[in-house]
Amino acid sequence: MANLRNTYLGISSPNPFWLASAPPTDKYHNVRRALDAGWGGVVWKTLGSQVKNVSSRYSSVDYNGHRMMGFNNIELISDRPLDLNLKEIAQIVREYPDRAMIVSLMADNNRTAWHELIKKTEDTGAHGIELNFGCPHGMIERGMGAVVGQDPEIAKMVVEWVMEAATIPVITKLTPNVHSVVPTAKAVVAGGTNGLSLINTIQSITGVDLDTFVPNPFVGGQSVYGGYCGPAVKPIALKMLTTLGKNPATNHVPISGIGGISTWRDAVEFMLLGAANVQICTAAMRYGFRIIDDLCSGLSNWMDEKGFATTDEFVGLSIPKITDWEKLDLNFHIVADINQDKCIHCGLCYITCEDTSHQAINLEQGKPYNTYTIKEEECVGCNLCKLVCPVEDCITMVEQRKGDEYLNWIAYQERGLPLNDH
């Protein structure tokens, strides 16, 4: 059976699933419950100077009846007394010696403040530190959080201060509220960070109440931009993660993957794209800590099926598969095929192709069931019909190469081959 034990920056945990720095990790009570449930470790809710939270802090995006496809918050860093947090962290470290304890920090923007905070943190026996350079609200007004993460120069400077004092591994958590995460990542790596984690939340407005006209969350008739996370952000996080794996200045740095991970499948995807372990927040806030059971069992079964014995064997395997557009094979051609035995005649493939794609599906009227067939010569192989089809494997994309050889855009241009074949 696969061994889920995971080592990240030398910090060992029984599985690669950590709880991200957020309310699930903000006090002894929660963290104990999480670790009892089986989580590999926690990144303690960000500590720093004293803050005050508002009431009414979360909002979400529901989609076709599914709750919390996307989740939004306007909370600040921990609003509990620093000493209490530190005391509880020390207690957890003592009681759960086999679990990872990382403490997220966001000090005031000066060297002394960082040094003091790091000292106090290390005194708890914690195994690592995560620098919160990503919080997109509340803290930025005070020159902290995302403001630091958005400016590579400042970020580098802060990391240098931190590395002067830290004796345990340091992870820098990146903000996604930038055009590219690479400049800041490069800067903090140059500043000496041991690891990177991403993503923090994405600035957002989840919606507007159509009765009050006030955007969510409603705070006494007003609202603010919040930080977006949950399943909706996963594709964005995966892309940002991959850019670090593809960049020579950052691709050797261990990355903790975060952003929209809800299932073991999501976690495997993050790891295939370069995450050495993963962190989860929204999925736990949605269902509670018990989701750890399936995260572990699903991962373990998948690893067995694929023949991976340890979690580091497949990290990054998918990165080389991402290339530049001009290196894609233009001779690779696929055509949709509808399995008439599986077709339930919903017509979704037809109407989407007809209205919005390449008019490549034929409709033969029937009462009440129409018959839909592919016009192969019109099909560009865009995948849309397959994506909208509600029946698994009813529509498959069949390879019908345009030519035997691999032919990319660069070669295509050099040879002056014809354009606009459709």
Partner 1 sequence: MIHTHRLNEAEYTQNFADIHPPFETHEGASIEANRCLFCYDAPCTKSCPTSIDVPKFIKQIATENIKGAAKTIFDSNIMGAGCSRVCPVEKLCEGACVYNLLHESPIAIARLQRYATAPALENNWQFYSSPSEKSKKVAVVGAGPAGLACAHALAQKGVAVSIFEKEPKGGGLMTYGVAGYKVTPEFCEEEVQWILGVGGIDIQYGVELGKDVQLADLQAQYDAVFLAIGVGVARPLQIEGEALDGVVNAISFIYDIRTKDLAAIPVGDAVAVIGMGMTAIDAATQAKRLGAKKVTMIYRRTENEKPCTDAELDLARLDGCEIIWLAAPHHINGQDGKVTEIVCSEMVLGEPDASGRRSPVDTGHTFTLPVDMVIKATGQLPYRNLLSEVGVQFSNETHDSGSTNLKGVFAGGDCVNGGKEVVDAVQAGKVAAASICDYLFG
Ligand X SMILES: Cc1cc2nc3c(=O)[nH]c(=O)nc-3n(C[C@H](O)[C@H](O)[C@H](O)COP(=O)(O)O)c2cc1C
- Residue 317 contact, options ligand X, partner 1, none, Cβ 5-8 Å cut-off depending on partner type: none
Containing H/E element for 185?
helix 182-190
281 contributes a contact to ligand X by CB under 6 A: yes
Least distance CB 97 / ligand X (angstroms):
24
Q: What angle do CA 172, 178, 180 make, to 5 degrees?
A: 85
Q: Which of 15, 124, 175, 200 binds ligand X (CB under 6 A)?
A: 200
Pick one of ligand X, partner 1, none as the site partner of residue 230 (Cβ within 5 to 8 A by kind).
Answer: ligand X
- Does the footprint of ligand X cover residue 20 (CB under 6 A)? yes
Strand ranges (DSSP E) for 81-214?
100-106, 128-132, 170-173, 195-198, 202-204
Give the closest residue to 102 by CA, choosing from 172, 186, 190. 172
Residue 45 interacts with ligand X (CB under 6 A): yes or no:
yes
E-assigned strand segments in 268-365: 275-280, 334-338, 361-364
- Residues 281 to 310 in contact with partner 1, rule: CB under 8 A: none
Give residues 341-360 in contact with partner 1 (rule: CB under 8 A).
344-348, 350-351
Angle in degrees, CA 266, 384, 373, rounded to 5: 130
Catalytic residue check, 135: yes
Which residue from 201, 206, 277, 311 is in contact with ligand X, where contact means CB under 6 A?
201
Query: What beta strand segments (E) does 133-286 contain?
Result: 170-173, 195-198, 202-204, 226-229, 255-258, 275-280
Report d(CA 239, CA 242) in Å as an integer.
Answer: 5
Burial (CB < 10 A; 0-12, 13-18, 19+), residue 364, is: exposed
Asked whether position 369 contacts partner 1 by CB under 8 A, the answer is: yes
Query: Residues 152, 259, 274, 381: which binds ligand X (CB under 6 A)?
Result: 259
Among 280, 349, 374, 395, binds ligand X (CB under 6 A): 280
Q: Which does 252 bind (CB under 5 to 8 A by kind): ligand X, partner 1, none?
A: none
Answer whether 253's CB lies under 8 Å from 244's CB.
Answer: yes
Q: Given the complex with partner 1, which of 355 and 404 has the nearer CB atom? A: 355
Residue of 135, 229, 379, 394 marked catalytic: 135
Residue 158 interacts with ligand X (CB under 6 A): yes or no: no
**CB 131 to ligand X: min, Å:** 9
Minimum gap (Å) between residue 385 Cβ and partner 1: 12
Helices (H), 288-332: 292-306
Residues in contact with ligand X, counted by CB under 6 A, come to a total of 28
Sole window of 70-78, 83-91, 146-154, 299-307 interacting with ligand X (rule: CB under 6 A): 70-78
The CA-based dihedral angle spanning residues 145, 148, 152, 153, taken in that order and rounded to the nearest 10 degrees: -160
Q: Residue 390 binds what, of partner 1, ligand X, none (CB under 5 to 8 Å, by partner type)? A: partner 1
CA gyration radius for the chain? 24
Q: Which does 370 bind (CB under 5 to 8 A by kind): partner 1, ligand X, none?
A: partner 1
Partner in contact with 363, chosen from partner 1, ligand X, none, beta carbon below 5 to 8 Å by kind = partner 1
Task: Give the footprint of partner 1 on residues 62-121 (CB under 8 A).
Answer: 64-66
Please state, as a whole number, how many other Cβ atoms lie within 10 Å of the Cβ of residue 291. 19
Q: Which of 30, 180, 47 is nearest to 102 (CA)?
A: 47
- Backbone phi, psi, residue 196, to 5°: -125, 150
CB of 61 to partner 1, least distance (A): 15
Q: How far is CA 256 from CA 88, 163, 275, in A?
A: 24, 19, 5
Residue 337 binds ligand X, judged by CB under 6 A: no
Residues 376 and 398: their CA atoms lie apart, in Å, by 10
Nearest distance in Å: CB 201, ligand X:
5
Q: Is 104 in the site for ligand X (CB under 6 A)?
A: yes
Segment near partner 1 (CB under 8 A); pick from 49-57, 70-78, 136-144, 340-348: 340-348
- Sites of contact with partner 1 (CB under 8 A): 64-66, 344-348, 350-351, 363, 367-370, 390-391
Residues marked active site are found at 135
